[in-house]
Amino acid sequence: MKIELRLAMAGPFGLRVKGTARARIIPLASALKKMGIEAKVLIPPWDSPKDSGRTEVIGGVEVHNLRLPGSIPLIRHFLISLSLARSCLAFRPDIIWLFKPVGYTGLAAALLRPFKVPVIVDADDWEGKGGWAERNPYPLLWRAIMPVQERWTLTHADAVTAASRTLQSIIWSMGFPEAKVLYLPNGVEPLPSLGPGQRKAVALYTRFVEFAPDDLLKIWTKILEKEPEAELIIVGKGFKGEEEEFLTKAAQAGIGGKVRVMGWMERDEALALLAEARVAIWPCRDNLINRAKCPAKLAELVGVGLPVVAEAVGEASSYVLPELLVESGNYEELAEKVVMLLKDEAKARELGAKGRERLLSSFLWDNLADKFLRFLEEIGLG
């Protein structure tokens, strides 16, 4: 599908620390670019200031890191949002697509309100009551402001894209027109099939945000009880050193030697290493944060052909084969499914291929970009 459109896509932070820009904004922009859309990505690299003022091309898309202002308390936040809004308008877009309704993009949405350019807001996490505003160590004032900002930004947009069914429902509950909220989950590229591997290893690709170290310890203990030869490969680490807490507790339980923590690696290198494992796991507590988010790392694991045994919370139920889902907290059943795949390489290969095929049939970025363009036409913005 082809339509003529200039689209400014603005993110809330830089490329190096958090994942929204690389995992969601740029893949969407790249897919839209292939369809003839003139898309430009603008981001304020406050969390990676070395990128200030830098422009680079990623996936065929121009990504512009705004030049950061000096360190002027409070005023600096306003100046960054003002620069983001002005840069969007300078592109002379037909539509502005702001990713995340809080922080700099949330404030930019308010600054863009007087102008006649349609503004679409993307939500891929929940910040309000029960969400990240309560869990993250924000200052008290920020915690009070963010839920208000989130609600205002979402309800004053011309349209909203939501990365999960839970977010879509929350936005509907605010009284926003149903027809103007598009369910747009994270997608995948058509990655080559890499797994599963021949080793009796279990892969975990994580930042330790979906579960606690104690949860993982219980799961891993049950797996080792059933298959003592199993090895756990963890790619990633927590924001607060949760991987070290897990390693300490595993050592105290006498199972530390069956765990390898690799830390953060480049994406392709990480996926190649994880694919050496026979099976992957996706622990996930049943709470509002996990129901509202859309785990890109989970989609990538399924996309390279690894069978993933997951707790059925939120979007995990969309990405993972039904036969590999377990009720959240049912560690016994999770361990049984993992051990079954560790012991049956042919079954692991069969389910890995089946899951990958199912994912690629519904969650390619190209298909999601086409879905977005059709949505624009349906609501009169295309």
Confidence category of residue 356, pLDDT binned at 50, 70, 90: very high
Please determine, for residue 1, whether its predicted confidence score (pLDDT) is greater than 70. Answer: no
User: Within this chain, do residues 269 and 132 fall inside the same structural domain, yes or no?
Assistant: no
43/263 Cα distance (integer angstroms) = 26
Q: Is the dihedral of CA 343, 349, 354, 357 positive or negative?
A: positive
DSSP assigned state of 180: G
Contacts 24+ apart (CB under 8 A), 131-139: 131/288, 131/289, 131/292, 132/289, 133/102, 135/289
3-state secondary structure of 176: coil
**Residue-by-residue DSSP string for 359-370:** HHHH-BHHHHHH
**Alpha carbons 325 and 310: distance in angstroms, whole number:** 5
Is residue 355 located within the same domain as residue 279?
A: yes
Band of residue 382 on the pLDDT scale cut at 50, 70, 90: confident
Asked if residues 307 and 348 have their Cβ atoms less than 8 Å apart, the reply is yes
pLDDT of residue 12: 92
pLDDT at residue number 195? 78
- Residue 242 and residue 310 in one domain: yes
If asked whether residues 98 and 218 sit together in one domain, one would say no
In angstroms, the first-to-last Cα distance of the chain is 11
The Cβ-side half-sphere exposure at 30, using a 13 Å CA radius, reads 17
pLDDT of the residue at 63: 95
Residue type, 97: W
- What pLDDT sits at residue 118? 97
Residue range 197-233, pLDDT digits in tens: 888 999 999 999 999 999 999 999 999 999 999 999 9
Range 97-117 average pLDDT: 96
Q: Which residue range forms the structural domain that includes residue 335?
A: 201-362
- Reported as a single tens digit per residue, the pLDDT across 130-185 is 898 888 777 888 788 899 999 999 999 999 999 999 999 999 999 999 999 999 99
Ranges of beta strands (E only) in 187-333 are 201-205, 231-235, 259-263, 279-282, 308-311, 325-326
User: Binning pLDDT at 50, 70 and 90, where does residue 67 land?
Assistant: very high
Q: Are residues 353 and 208 part of one domain?
A: yes
**Average predicted confidence (pLDDT) for the chain:** 93
Can you point out the beta strands (E) in the chain? 6-10, 38-43, 55-58, 61-65, 95-99, 119-123, 159-162, 181-183, 201-205, 231-235, 259-263, 279-282, 308-311, 325-326
Q: Distance between CA 272 and CA 195 in Å, rounded?
A: 8
Residues 262 and 282 reside in one and the same domain: yes
Token pair of 353, please?
């291929």
pLDDT of residue 142: 79
Q: How confident is the model at residue 2 (pLDDT cuts 50, 70, 90)?
A: low
| 132 and 18 within one domain | yes
Tokens of 240: 């607060």
For residue 228, is it within any domain? yes
Q: What is the per-residue pLDDT across 253-286, written as a single tens digit (0 to 9) for each?
A: 999 889 999 988 887 888 888 888 999 999 999 9
Q: Are residues 113 and 140 in the same domain?
A: yes
Residue 193 resides in a domain: no
Asked whether the predicted pLDDT for residue 81 surpasses 60, the reply is yes
Q: Are 42 and 10 in contact (CB under 8 A)?
A: yes
For residue 259, how many other CB atoms are within 10 A of its CB?
19
Q: Count H helices, E strands: the chain? A: 16, 14
* H or E segment and range at residue 350: helix 345-362
The CB density around residue 221, as the number of other CB atoms within 10 Å, is: 16
- Check whether 72 has a pLDDT greater than 90: no
Residue 114 vs residue 70, higher pLDDT: 114
Look up the CATH number of the domain holding residue 159. Answer: 3.40.50.2000
- Residue 335 predicted with pLDDT over 90: yes
Give how many domains the chain has, as a whole number.
Answer: 2
pLDDT: is 195 or 370 the higher one?
Answer: 370
pLDDT in tens, 7-57: 999 999 988 777 788 899 999 999 999 999 999 999 999 888 899 999 999
Is the per-residue pLDDT at 71 higher than 60? yes
Same domain, 41 and 161: yes
- Based on the fold, state whether residues 178 and 218 are members of the same structural domain: no
Domain membership flag for residue 171: yes
What are the b/e assignments for 318-343, b being 16+ CB within 10 Å?
bbbbeebbbebbebeebbebbbbbbe
